[in-house]
Amino acid sequence: MIYLDNAASSFPKPRPVIKAVTRALGTLWGNPGRAGHKKAMAAMRMIYETRVALAGLLGLTDPERIIFTKNATEGLNIALKGLLKSGDTVAISRLEHNSVTRPLNTLKQSGVKVVYAPVDEYGLPDPSKIPDVKMLAVTGASNVTGAILDTKTIGEACAKKGVLLLVDAAQSAGSIPFDTSRIDILVGTGHKALLGPQGTGFAWFREGITPEPFIEGGTGSNSESDMTPPFLPDKFEAGTMNTPGITGLKAGVEHVRRLTVQGVREKEISLVTLIMDALSNEPRATVYGPADPARRGSLISFNIAGSDPAQIATAIDRRGVAVRVGLHCAPEGHKFAGTFPQGAVRVSPGAMTRRKDVETFIRILRRIIKDAK
């Protein structure tokens, strides 16, 4: 199978990631933070080293303020539900994933106001029109149109207005270089461009920003206290951690550091360019999002006039290529692109994708478009 669904989850995983997870299952079996014996200490050290590696990759100065979660969704829920209270207003872009909009829709019922920020032509917040709100929650790169947020400019604009900036980096961490110096809350996932295993994710909170946790329990620290420790990361890491997953995430982060985020970016831009050029030669094809591959992440959502996207995706799948069709858990982005409710076909190469596989996909797609009269 040719795998071109990296925006959903990356594959193949680098060999060091597979090895690290296997090794962790065989050797890191102590419960991190729960005992003084060698194996528990080794597991704890590994988790700490992962925080340091991730902070280094993302340019974050305080690794202890990174908390590990099971995915980006959990991190977003912790941030949104733990920070927003009745009477607060949060602004979002036109491209948010359900993992931002669904928690916010629930929060509306307890008195949180949710508004759209004025946006640019790509559906991302216009930095010159940041509204007077408590928080701007915005995707770092859309999983529908690929549009990339300029985190530096938005961050500076938010800082000027005293607005907290939350960036959902599920589609950008590990594959798009971005400035984190003015981000207040950064949430990401481990299993996409960070090349780690599924079941891993993270959230980082700038010093001074500490949400209320909604999961509490044993942390291995302050055990004499009847309350959850107030400090990070323990406040958000109650219960036994996903040591094998986090060990794999460390190997993924190290692999990205070897490739460099810029190197991954350049490779992905060249693969995206190949696919976009091929689609531009198809008069019936419509591609959504920025026309310039340098302004988009590594994904292309498209439709073929006269054909249902599900029909095109099924034909692609039958020929042995994995892509994703539909609404991609992001109906907002599809409404903005004008592709709601049918959605679009999305093809997403990744850091581990071979050029020759993209070329094969293009040949297959040409044939499918020709046949879909």
Task: Enumerate binding residues for ligand PLP (CB under 6 A).
Answer: 71-73, 97, 99, 139, 143, 168, 170-171, 189, 201, 329
Secondary structure of residue 147 in the 3-state scheme: strand
Distance of alpha carbon 289 from alpha carbon 56, whole angstroms: 31
Distance of alpha carbon 99 from alpha carbon 121, whole angstroms: 23
Report which of 229, 188, 226, 191 is spatially closest to residue 67, judged by C-alpha positions.
Answer: 188
Pick the closer one to ligand PLP by CB: 190 or 244.
Answer: 190
Instruction: Classify residue 64 by its DSSP letter.
Output: G
Pick the closer one to ligand PLP by CB: 304 or 325.
Answer: 325
List of E strands, the chain: 2-3, 66-69, 89-92, 113-116, 135-139, 164-168, 185-189, 201-205, 285-287, 300-304, 321-322, 324-326, 344-347
Pick the closer one to ligand PLP by CB: 139 or 228.
Answer: 139
Q: How far is the CB of 373 from ligand PLP (least distance, A)?
A: 33
Q: How far is the CB of 169 from ligand PLP (least distance, A)?
A: 8
Q: How far is the CB of 326 from ligand PLP (least distance, A)?
A: 12
Pick the closer one to ligand PLP by CB: 145 or 228.
Answer: 145
Q: How far is the CB of 300 from ligand PLP (least distance, A)?
A: 15
Q: How far is the CB of 92 from ligand PLP (least distance, A)?
A: 12
Distance of alpha carbon 146 from alpha carbon 344, whole angstroms: 13
Position 328: which residue type?
H
Pick the closer one to ligand PLP by CB: 43 or 154.
Answer: 154
List, as one string, the DSSP characters of 241-297. Answer: --HHHHHHHHHHHHHHHHH-HHHHHHHHHHHHHHHHHHHHT-TTEEE-S-SSGGGB-
Q: How far is the CB of 151 from ligand PLP (least distance, A)?
A: 14
Pick the closer one to ligand PLP by CB: 10 or 71.
Answer: 71
